[in-house]
Amino acid sequence: MVEFVEKNHDEEFLFTEANGTLSRATITLEQSARVYQPGDIVILISGTYVLATNALVDANVDADVSIVARRTNATAKDTKAAAIVRDAEVKAGYLTFGASTVLADLSPSLAEKNIIVLPDAA
């Protein structure tokens, strides 16, 4: 029997966000071989956002971080995407990031933007 695995739904990682559009913005994702998924933590490097990795965070301590809100295909070119950029509570288990990175490495950068990472069952 074939087993299917359902991917995260758009914005499924969100617990709460600020009223109106305070928490959201449009960002530009760098072209990538992989489709960006809801909950991907991205970091601003040279004018576009890329999937956050430990090496990028360490090398760019003050770099801007955001969370991709909706599945976005940037395989052909740099692409605009909806993102959570400030003032939100998010589910830890629904966040994704690059290899060799742990959420503890990214949480301080998110906290600076008042994005609070909570356990999934909060």
Q: At residue 71, what are phi and psi to the nearest 5 degrees?
A: -55, 130
In this prediction, residue 83 carries a pLDDT of: 98
- Binning pLDDT at 50, 70 and 90, where does residue 18 land? very high
- The residues spanned by each domain of the chain are 14-118
Query: What class does CATH assign to 14-118?
Result: mainly beta
3-class secondary structure, 59: helix
In this prediction, residue 122 carries a pLDDT of: 52
- Binning pLDDT at 50, 70 and 90, where does residue 114 land? very high
pLDDT in tens, 40-78: 999 999 999 999 988 887 787 778 999 999 999 999 999
Q: Where are the beta strands (DSSP E) in 14-94?
A: 14-17, 24-29, 41-45, 48-51, 65-68, 79-84, 88-91
